Amino acid sequence: MERPSSLTKRIAAYGGIAVFIIMALEVMIMISPFAFFFYSVFNPVFNFLGQHAATRWATMFFLPHMILPPTAFLKTVRLAGSVLFVVGFFGFTFCALQVYLGKIFKWGIASKGIYRLIRHPQYLLLGLWGLGMAILWPRFIVLASLSLMFVLYYFLAHDEERRMLKQYGDSYRQYMDRTGMFLPRSLERPLAALVNRLIPQVPLRHAVIPVLMVILVLGSGFLLRAITLHSLPLTATIT
């Protein structure tokens, strides 16, 4: 039986991704018969955020001209969004099937396929899927919910590893020694070394890393917005 803290983390994580998907699928809901119900719920939220200078940014688009990107760089970003969406969706679906079928048929630790290299490929692919979705419907509030999803799954992955160590012991510890957490070990090792230099092993380390995730995700959105606006062929007329 799961501890209350573990159950709470799982509920928060799945709730976070549900909110993200709802916000990110706004463009699809807009052209569906459910558009009225969507905006009857979220319009008050958008109106509230838009009325305050400190939160108005959340309702804006960080890629305001993504339908017709004005530069080759922004066209590449849009194409990357489509690729990430497709790869993340199908990859996550495949990994989820592998995990849940393993639970049904009691195959033990998922250690085949991409799991031979990465312990949490489903979270990596879910992140890629979410990033692609955010690029395709680039509202800041979607990006904010994506950063929240990253933080929740960062903690959930650590919690799952503690439970796996308790359940499988040395076999899972050996699996951890030869694999990376979110990337292949050959790529994750130098990144981990860089993070260890920038963020020492202090009690607040697990609080600092999520904050940096949010800053990085939202900061990238503001940077892309500035690049987009700077790239637009704006003209001014004097009357």
Q: Is residue 52 part of a domain?
A: no
* In-domain check, residue 235: no
What is the span of the domain harbouring residue 28? 4-43+70-230
State how many domains the chain has.
1
Question: Residue 236: its pLDDT value, please?
Answer: 47
The answer to whether 142 touches 133, Cβ cutoff 8 Å, is yes
107 belongs to a structural domain: yes
- Which pLDDT tens digit goes with each residue over 21-63? 666 666 555 555 555 556 666 678 778 888 888 888 888 889 8
Task: Name residue, tokens 């920038």.
Answer: 198
Name residues whose C-beta falls within 8 Å of residue 116's C-beta, 6 or more positions apart in sequence: 179
Which tokens go with 37?
Answer: 């119900």
Say if 22 falls within a structural domain.
yes
pLDDT in tens, 122-132: 889 988 988 98
The answer to whether residue 58 sits within a structural domain is no
> Is residue 159 within 8 Å of 206, Cβ to Cβ?
no
Residue 238 lies in a domain: no
Any domain includes 50: no
pLDDT at residue 136 greater than cutoff 90:
no
Task: Read off the pTM.
Answer: 0.76
Report if residue 49 sits inside a domain: no
